[in-house]
Amino acid sequence: MNPQKGLVIFGTLRDPALMTLVLGRDLDPYESEWAVLTGHSVRWAKGQNFPLLVTDKAGAAQGLRFTRLSAQDYARLDYYEGLFGYRRRDVGVMDASGTWHTAEVYWPIAAQWEPGVLWDYDTWHSEFGAQNLIAAADKMAGFDAAPETVRHIAQRRVYENFFAVDEYDLQFRKFAGGFSPTVERAVFVGGQSAIVLPYDPVRDRVLVVEQFRAGAYGAGDDAPWTIEPIAGRIDRGESPQTAARREAREEAGLTLRDLLPVAASYPSPGTTTEFFHVFVGLCDLPDGIAGLGGAVAEDEDIRSHLLPWAEFDARLMAGGFRLLPLIAAGHWLARNREGVRASA
């Protein structure tokens, strides 16, 4: 159970029949209450028969807040929403009495659809509700037929500030059969990040940034300033590509022409929910482009360095970098550099 936080539904699962089907149980009429998420709106996905929750400074999305969902309820909801590429994330909502709560919503892992006009529940229900129930029954049959793999017993948020830490009590299915004893696992909740190594294929040079990192300091590193690619969190409603372009402007004053995907992966799934979208960004890197940058509001102090490819590659091959996303992007570029230059 997660009564302190709750889950807010803004789209089709507001339909009691659909929610009942997905949960596999009857709903208590007092199980939910109305809540509002400001700065967002619910819009039709263009060309589709379902809605999207999107950022909208002038908007106020109205949804249903559920605070008595069980671990099994969350498992079924996660399965259903996961089929469409959605995962839970935290937001702040206001209930009917004007009280603010931290809650969760389902948010797309990546921007897959373009938002259209404002969504209307009654229109959706009359035109698509019946066929949505048929499709959902077919999808949830897959969950019911699938063997149980993880038993979610309890969850606690033990720290929340710039990042968060959750503790889980759970059992997982073992390769040899049966379930593990109940184990406690702590997870660092870090969100998704866009990471980009700027490269000028004409001048054959890259740009890297340098900044103080508390993690390196906490590890006892005598030099907690690390050489990195440009990186930053993906804001709500942003695609990884949009975030990469925004961070390039903020950290180094760069305008990226093209983004070449390197990897989309977990950096350390044993301890963190973080998910990295790594790119090589094609751009112009003339002499004098390196300097100081960073978002003042975030107390960033960033220095950029312009490196000829030969110097960067020699340092890469000698193990001179200490950041895995930079190493991954550097080796990808080393392998694909000739083709990238030829295309440029």
Catalytic positions: 298
Q: β-strand 230-233 against 225-228: which pairing, if any?
A: unpaired
Contacts of 87 by beta carbon, 8 Å cutoff, 6+ apart? 78, 81, 106, 107, 109
Q: Which amino acid is at 122?
A: D
First to last CA, the chain: 55
Contacts of 12 by beta carbon, 8 Å cutoff, 6+ apart? 18, 50, 51, 124, 132
Q: Is 53 left (phi over 0), alpha (psi -120 to 50) or beta?
A: beta
Answer whether 272's CB lies under 8 Å from 171's CB.
no
3-state secondary structure 126-159: HHHHHHHHHHHHHHHHHHHHCCCCEEEEEEEEEE
Cα–Cα dist 310/315, whole Å: 9
Cα–Cα dist 200/264, whole Å: 22
DSSP letter, residue 286: -
Cα–Cα dist 42/164, whole Å: 27
Q: Which amino acid is at 135?
A: A
Between the alpha carbon of residue 110 and those of residues 156, 174, 291, the distances in Å are 27, 31, 32
Answer whether 235's CB lies under 8 Å from 276's CB.
no
Cα–Cα dist 5/40, whole Å: 19
Q: Is 271 buried (19+), middle (13-18) or exposed (0-12) by CB count in 10 A?
A: middle
Instruction: At 185, give phi and psi (nearest 5°).
Output: -130, 135
